[in-house]
Amino acid sequence: MAELPRWIKIFLVALVGLSLIFLYLWQGWRVIYLQQRISKLDEKLTPLRERKKQLLLDKARYFRYERIERIAKERLGMVEPEIKKKTEKKEQASKVWSTKTGSGSLPCCS
């Protein structure tokens, strides 16, 4: 195989060198472009983060137990249940049972 002429060797070395320089410069430009894009997106993200915080505060305020209880009482007319002792419940149940069956004691409690 014949040896390549000297000017072709120089041309190929120069081509490889210029290609490496172009690749290096292109990479630098790309980094700068991506940094600018990141900063623009970060500027858009800041108000969204603030809005998210505000929405979380609103959610916490709307789901407070006191608020839900107030709305249930005022708008829906709900009332708190009466707390009865076990003996009162047992007496009430035996009264209901005696009116239905005629006997005074519950079958489970006699």
Per-residue pLDDT tens for 92-107? 766 666 665 555 554 5
Residue 68 has pLDDT above 60, yes or no: yes
Does the predicted TM-score (pTM) go above 0.85? no
Residue 58 has pLDDT above 90, yes or no: yes
pLDDT band at 79 (very low <50, low <70, confident <90, very high): confident
The Cα 77–Cα 70 span in angstroms is 10
Closest CA to 78 of 87, 86, 69: 69
